[in-house]
């Protein structure tokens, strides 16, 4: 028996935990056991120094896989059936992990150790808070999948054979076992399937799309990575809506890719382009970018998307909304990117309005829809409060809250407060007001220079200025540990934006508090807000219920119609879609375990 780290974790798992339901629409209630405790002195134990065994690592749950057409067990690189390979014309091959002998092998030269643990007497790196995920909070999370031949979820990283180098990085990140979104999304991606995934950020989304991409690139020894002339040819593209989020994804992806030979480069606006160009010239496998800068690079012909095999959109619903859609279409449809079916496309977000799903199906091929119950936002982990505060009273009310926090000793580095406002001017003016009133605050918004934005974020994260006033630039995806309190000083006009904002607290299964100031300007939000709070077992004030009953159905363009207690629902299951046919869901409902498909009126256990 092998005794690698991954296997020992597997052995510690409940051996009877495989849930093998895998076809059609599946409701899985995770019954995960508590994570095995690994004493600190054993946590960074090096894995077995044996060369990676080419097969059998799927054996821990092999029995569960019966019935699934393309078994996950068995060799991943020895020429076994790999959809993504056959699709792109590679015939498989007998390489091995870490064998990137394509002749151009500079990936590992002087690679900075992103873990900072080069010292063998290494310390736990305490700043990385993505460790210590509270897995208890992830138990009994509802999961829904739909689509044809959905690969079954896994329960351990050991079952998914990602390779030694990646396993070691997973271990260094102290990811003991996969989060729910990872359990489901990684097998789907490894099977080469397109994916639309609804899962709260902070639930391990980034790893869910990075692991399969890195693993796939490592296996692909024939991939052409060498720049031709000054043009870079990334194999994977990860797009996100803000610069800071792109930076964050880049940082995380670098950890996952450490010593795998897979090179990750980031490109975003507001920063000098020359340095980014130099990085690109040195070779890139995974490009993380914001849309504007990428379009610039494409127009300068410094990047070609010709070899893209993996496309991931983070915060995909934002990427496809009115502001971004034209740029995304240009990048994905009007440049040299391979079409859906040739590349593999993965869309992730915590929210997925129906209209956006319809739009998104243009970019996908026979995809699987995955919804994982919200971990961060819509559970008891975030206590949501709504207070009626007139516009003119907001500042003094905020001051009261901050004073109370201070009096309770809830302030400083371990209890950051994130205050959302509607406008950039409003952000500046509130920050100034807080500062002159003795509260150390800073601000982040689109009118600040990139340097100022980055400095503000750093100063906030470090606790130097424990109050951050922000516009929606900070609403999505940013992983800021120790945000104890999110204040919606101005409520957004869209309930999904509210969901993303409050998701900045209660990260990784920790608890948090969200306070919203509501007044007569927000009546259109009353109904959606009351519903959301009710769904997440929050106490809804009577006055808010009265507003909700009075108001027409508002809450922005997206109301959570049809069973909202759950992050999202596959729009292909709506009767309107089935009647009207249309968008991209080719193959949907054809066999694959949908008993009878979804005709009009067909409902599921979720309704």
Partner DNA sequence: AAAAAAT
Kindly list the residues in this chain that would bind DNA in the complex (CB under 7 A).
241-244, 268-271, 273, 289-296, 299, 321-324, 327, 422-426, 445-447, 471-473, 493
How far is 387 from 368, CA to CA, in rounded Å? 40
Tell how strand 142-146 and strand 368-372 pair up. antiparallel
Cβ proximity to DNA: between 490 and 570 the closer is: 490
Query: From the CA atom positions of the chain, what is the Rg in Å?
Result: 24
Cβ proximity to DNA: between 186 and 478 the closer is: 478
Beta bridge mates, 231: 228
Tell how strand 26-29 and strand 142-146 pair up. antiparallel
φ, ψ dihedrals at 247, nearest 5°? -60, -45
Cβ proximity to DNA: between 96 and 270 the closer is: 270
Q: How far is the CB of 259 from DNA (least distance, A)?
A: 30
Q: How far is the CB of 275 from DNA (least distance, A)?
A: 11
Cβ neighbours, 10 Å, residue 128? 18
Cβ proximity to DNA: between 92 and 269 the closer is: 269
How far is 121 from 384, CA to CA, in rounded Å? 43
How far is 494 from 567, CA to CA, in rounded Å? 15
CA angle 297–302–308, rounded 5-degree value: 85
Token pair listed for 456: 């503000």
How far is 480 from 416, CA to CA, in rounded Å? 9
Q: How far is the CB of 167 from DNA (least distance, A)?
A: 34
How far is 453 from 580, CA to CA, in rounded Å? 46
Q: How far is the CB of 281 from DNA (least distance, A)?
A: 18
Cβ proximity to DNA: between 411 and 448 the closer is: 448
Cβ atoms 149, 525 nearer than 8 A: no
Cβ proximity to DNA: between 69 and 446 the closer is: 446
How far is 3 from 448, CA to CA, in rounded Å? 52
Cβ proximity to DNA: between 419 and 473 the closer is: 473
Tell how strand 441-444 and strand 512-518 pair up. unpaired
Q: How far is the CB of 266 from DNA (least distance, A)?
A: 11
Cβ proximity to DNA: between 95 and 270 the closer is: 270
Q: How far is the CB of 417 from DNA (least distance, A)?
A: 19
Q: How far is the CB of 420 from DNA (least distance, A)?
A: 10
Q: How far is the CB of 70 from DNA (least distance, A)?
A: 38
Largest CA distance in the chain: 70
Q: How far is the CB of 554 from DNA (least distance, A)?
A: 12
Cβ neighbours, 10 Å, residue 15? 11
Cβ atoms 513, 385 nearer than 8 A: yes
How far is 536 from 552, CA to CA, in rounded Å? 22
Cβ proximity to DNA: between 111 and 325 the closer is: 325
Helix (H) or strand (E) segment spanning residue 171: helix 164-172
Q: How far is the CB of 330 from DNA (least distance, A)?
A: 10
Cβ proximity to DNA: between 133 and 478 the closer is: 478
How far is 195 from 179, CA to CA, in rounded Å? 17
């Amino acid at each position: 028996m092998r005794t690698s780290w991954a296997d020992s974790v597997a052995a510690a798992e409940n051996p009877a935990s495989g849930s093998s339901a895998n076809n059609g629409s599946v409701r899985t209630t995770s019954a995960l056991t508590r994570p095995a405790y690994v004493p600190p002195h054993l946590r960074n134990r090096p894995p077995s120094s044996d060369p990676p065994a080419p097969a059998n690592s799927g054996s821990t749950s092999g029995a569960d896989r019966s019935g699934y057409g393309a078994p996950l067990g068995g060799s991943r690189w020895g020429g076994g059936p790999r959809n993504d390979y056959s699709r792109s014309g590679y015939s498989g091959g007998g390489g091995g992990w870490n064998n990137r002998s394509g002749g151009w092998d500079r990936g590992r030269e002087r690679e900075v150790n992103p873990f900072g643990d080069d010292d063998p007497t290494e310390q736990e790196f305490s700043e990385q808070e993505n460790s210590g995920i509270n897995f208890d909070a992830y138990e009994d999370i509802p999961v829904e999948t739909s689509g044809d031949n959905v690969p079954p979820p896994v329960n351990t990283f050991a079952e998914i054979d990602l390779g030694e180098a990646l396993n070691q990085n997973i271990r260094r990140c102290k990811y003991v076992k996969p989060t729910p979104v990872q359990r489901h999304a990684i097998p789907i991606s490894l099977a080469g399937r397109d994916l639309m995934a609804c899962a709260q950020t902070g639930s391990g989304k980034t790893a869910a799309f990075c692991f399969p991409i890195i693993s796939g690139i490592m296996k692909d020894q024939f991939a052409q990575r060498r720049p031709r002339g000054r043009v870079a040819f990334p194999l994977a593209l990860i797009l996100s809506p803000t610069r800071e989020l792109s930076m964050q994804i880049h940082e995380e992806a670098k950890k996952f890719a450490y010593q795998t030979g897979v090179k990750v480069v980031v490109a975003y606006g507001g920063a000098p382009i020359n340095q980014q160009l130099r990085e690109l010239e040195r070779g890139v496998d995974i490009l993380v970018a914001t849309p504007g800068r990428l379009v610039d690079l494409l127009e300068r012909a410094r990047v070609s998307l010709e070899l893209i095999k993996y496309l991931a959109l983070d915060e995909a619903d934002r990427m496809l909304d009115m502001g971004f859609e034209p740029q995304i279409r240009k990048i994905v449809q009007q440049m040299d990117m391979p079409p859906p079916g040739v590349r593999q496309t993965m869309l992730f977000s915590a929210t997925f309005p129906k209209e956006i799903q319809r739009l998104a199906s243009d970019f996908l091929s026979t995809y699987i829809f995955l919804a994982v119950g919200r971990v961060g936002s819509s559970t008891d982990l975030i206590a949501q409060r709504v207070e009626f505060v007139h516009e003119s009273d907001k500042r003094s009310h905020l001051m009261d809250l901050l004073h109370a926090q201070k009096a309770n000793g809830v302030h400083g580095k371990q209890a950051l407060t994130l205050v959302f406002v509607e406008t950039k001017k409003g952000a500046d003016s509130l920050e100034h007001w807080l500062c002159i009133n003795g509260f150390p605050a800073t601000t982040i918004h689109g009118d600040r220079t990139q340097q100022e934005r980055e400095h503000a974020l750093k100063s906030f994260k470090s606790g130097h200025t424990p109050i951050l006033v922000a516009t929606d630039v900070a609403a999505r995806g940013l992983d800021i540990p120790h945000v104890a309190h999110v204040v919606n000083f101005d409520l957004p006009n869209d309930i999904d934006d509210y969901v993303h904002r409050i998701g900045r607290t209660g990260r990784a299964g920790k608890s948090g508090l969200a306070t919203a100031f509501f007044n007569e300007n927000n009546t259109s939000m009353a109904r959606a807000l009351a519903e959301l709070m009710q769904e997440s077992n929050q106490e809804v004030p009577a006055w808010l219920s009265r507003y909700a009953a009075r108001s027409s159905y508002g809450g922005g363009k997206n109301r959570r119609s049809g069973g909202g207690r759950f992050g999202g629902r596959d729009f292909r299951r709506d009767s309107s879609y089935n009647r009207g046919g249309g968008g991209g869901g080719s193959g949907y409902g054809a066999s694959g375990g949908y008993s009878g498909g979804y005709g009009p009126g067909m409902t599921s256990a979720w309704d």
